[in-house]
Structure 1
Amino acid sequence: MTHPLPLRVIAVSGGLQQPSKAAVLAEYLSDLIAAEVPCEQHLVELGQLAPHFAGAVRRAQLPGPVEAALSAVEQADVLVVATPVYRGSYTGLFKHFFDFIDQDALVDTPVLLAATGGSDRHALMIDHQLRPLFSFFQARTLPLGVYATDRDFAGQSLHNVELIQRAKLAVERALPVLQLSRHAGIRPAGKVAVA
């Protein structure tokens, strides 16, 4: 009897700071998924990769670590993306990274959207900026996004009960899509299982 493959959950943080609240949020959401569905988790921190690709204009110019991160995203069964809000949108580095992604690589890939910002006034960025970006890729953006402000963190962990409940609800709402893909043994076209 064959068992469904574990889902490859790739979390991408657009945070430029070290440590990054976006990375903390992305990992937290990835861990919530892992608590419900067998998966392999990997975090891509764009702030660490920035020196290697910020000036590149073609994918062929990119060094190995950046190419490996792009390939991981393209082969993901599930994406968790989190970015700080900068001037009302995702960071330029976040967009630059996704500009290198093959435009057909994320078709039907479930994407859990998240963002961090200094105040609540940027919360709609998830629906006004992130959702259209991943719609271009024909990805399957999951129903609920998760937006966190600075006050939702205590050091490098989430502490706001309402935010934690929102994160859990976002994953609960995503589970039917994730479990269906896993139990059906489905990998979107062009995505092969890595041995």
Structure 2
Amino acid sequence: MSPTSLRVVLLNGSPSQDSKSAALGQAVVDDVSERWPIVLTRVDVYRIGTDLTSARTRDEAGAGALRALEAVEAADLLIVATPVFRGSYPGIFKHFADLLDQYGVAGTPTLLTATGGSERHCLVIDHELRPLFAFLQAFVAPSGIYLSSDAFDGTTILDPHARTRIHVAVDDLVPLLERRLRA
């Protein structure tokens, strides 16, 4: 990794690697990579398996879960992408967050994204994700991005305003990310 590359982690909370949520997260990654050189690590919480699901505490986590947790904690930029499940994020996503070190993402620039079946879930970012990452003391971008199913064709984003919204959200973090590149 070059000293001028950002360590970007895409934390995917979807059961599927090829989901609308993952596609939205990747669109954010693409915007970031157009601005700066990056080293991307993708953490798909559902793919971690029993290394994560069998752990009640971090001390019980398997090697795969520990690598994923450490990658998130070492990120220069954390991009969170999750679907809405029954009005919130999926339980396995929350379980992963519960195993993060209490201060592991403190101060980490974090951009929140979510997808759901309709616009009625659009407040998931402010009512569910933002409080979780505020508790972890991450530096959460003021702008989050929520897209409903009608903004997609499969995993292709059709919403003509989505790219602008992503760009604005990344702009919120530019001063922090440039500071990390200089460090």
Which shows bigger deviation, 45-54 or 12-21? 45-54
Residues 55-77 of structure 1: per-residue CA shift (max 9 Å, x gap): 32022322221111111001111
Q: Which runs of 5+ in 1 are unaligned?
A: 186-195
TM-score (norm 2): 0.93
Report % sequence identity: 40
Distance 1:39 1:17 in 2: 24
Report the equivalent of 2:43.
44
Residue number in structure 2 paired with 1:167: 166
Indicate how the Cα distance of structure 1 residues 19 and 39 shifts in structure 2: closer, same or farther if over 3 A, else same: closer
Alpha-carbon distance between aligned partners in 1 of 2:41 and 2:3, rounded to the nearest angstrom: 19
Q: What is the CA distance between 1:5 and its match in structure 2?
A: 3.0
In structure 2, distance between residues paired with 1:149 and 1:51:
31
Q: Which amino acid aligns with 1:21?
A: K
- How big is each residue's C-alpha offset from its partner over 1:154-175, in whole Å with a ceiling of 9 and x where there is no partner? 2222121112221122112222
Q: Tell me the CA shift for residue 6 of structure 1.
A: 1.1
The residue type equivalent to 1:58 in the other structure is T
Deviations 1:29-84 (A, max 9, x none): 11211111222111111121244322320223222211111110011111000111
Aligned to 2:10: 11
Q: In structure 2, what residue type is equivalent to 1:66?
A: A
**Closer/same/farther in 2, CA of residues 61 and 27 from structure 1, 3 Å limit:** same
Question: Residue in 2 aligned with 1:76?
Answer: 75
Runs (4+) of structure 1 moved beyond 3 Å? none
Q: Distance in 1 between matches of 2:49 and 2:81?
A: 16
Deviation at 1:89, TM superposition (A): 1.1
SS of 2:161's equivalent in the other structure is helix
8 A Cα contact 1:13 1:22, kept in partner: yes
User: Measured at CA, do residues 59 and 36 of structure 1 come closer, stay the same or move farther in structure 2, by a change above 3 Å?
Assistant: same
On the 8 A contact 1:50/1:93 being kept in 2, the answer is: no
What amino acid maps onto 1:112 in structure 2?
Answer: L
Check conservation: 1:9, 1:76, Cα contact below 8 A: yes
1:193 maps to which residue? none
Please give the TM-score of this superposition, normalised by the length of structure 1. Answer: 0.87
Who is 2:102 aligned against? 103
Within 5 Å, give how 1:114-125 maps onto structure 2.
114-125=113-124
Secondary structure, aligned partner of 1:143:
coil
Aligned CA RMSD, in angstroms, stands at 1.5
- For 1:52 and 1:70, the matched residues in 2 are separated by 11
Aligned to 2:93: 94
Cα 1:153/1:50, change in 2 over 3 Å: farther
Deviations along 1:117-159, whole A, 9 cap, x unmatched? 0001111110111111111111100111000111111222212
d(CA) in 2 for partners of 1:180, 1:52? 35
SS of the aligned residue for 1:129 comes to: helix
1-structure distance, mates of 2:32, 2:16: 25
Cα contact 2:54–2:61 (8 A) shared by 1 = no
